[in-house]
Amino acid sequence: MSLISLDQSEYKSLDAKAYDREKRRLRIELLKLQEDVIKNNRKLCIIFEGRDTAGKSTAIRFFSEYLRPQHFNYVQLGIPTKWESSHWFQRWGKALPRRGEISFLDRSWYTRAITEPIMGYCSENQYRTFMKKVNKWEDEQMDNGVELTKFYFSLSKDQQEIRMKARKNSELKYWKLSKNDEKIITKWNAFTLYKEQMFNQTSTDNSPWVSINSNNKMIARLTSLRYLLIKTEYEGKKILKPTKWSKSLNNYSSNLEGVQFDNLSYDQFMVISKYSDDS
């Protein structure tokens, strides 16, 4: 297994101003990467998988906010049709980037590796067939020019429960918590088992999984974007050393339910951020 678990200690604690500076520096580099993708007709595909509330969607927004919109795609496919369910790779093949594009996949073909078998959305045979064929299929896509990065955003059970309760009680985000989500969170151990099976069988030298601890979403975003920039070549590349953070300054900010909290201590920020999908 070639699972990559990143050391996130360089972003151990966040100073708000330093976070903004680092975010800006990394986004400038990502824009350079996009320009190179456009210029050289490259095809970048970045998968964001992980448990519910792990911060996949907000990470994609973090990546893409200042990119040229006509040259990237946000992909979040809905419930598959009967035909799509039985033609799984054809379904996802259509979601891959064309030349000169970056595609951000908010969940991917790997829903068949975890969510679908656990929730009974696919048959045992469909699951086993997928697991048997997916590595070869990915190799074929990469041979055809797709540059693939697979992120898995992980979080603790306690952190997920906190975020789920926050969604349920939110007047703005209650709709994000469906009855299906409430069923999913009762199957923590099953998800862990299938996740480990997915890592063991599909994290290859050619296409490894990159595990991101997203208990702190801000650190998760910086870490994942930094990894992408370090591993990917592009014209004008300049990866700067991480900014040093400080816990001592009371200059953290967080937004909760439309209310802005400023001049927070680090400890105060960490408490509020647990209940915010935007933090």
Higher pLDDT, 237 or 179: 237
pLDDT of residue 16: 73
Higher pLDDT, 239 or 142: 142
Band (113; pLDDT cuts 50, 70, 90)? very high
Q: Is the pLDDT of residue 15 over 80?
A: no
pTM of the model: 0.81
User: Which of 49-53, 177-181, 237-241 has the least mean pLDDT?
Assistant: 177-181
Q: Which fold has domain 4-249?
A: Rossmann fold (3.40.50)
pLDDT of residue 160: 78
Higher pLDDT, 38 or 218: 38
pLDDT of residue 246: 44
Q: For the chain, give every domain's residue range.
A: 4-249
* DSSP symbol at 11: G
Q: Single out the residue of 262, 257, 261, 258 nearest to residue 275, CA to CA.
A: 257
Q: What percent of the chain has pLDDT over 70?
A: 75
Distance CA(128)–CA(117), nearest Å, equals: 10
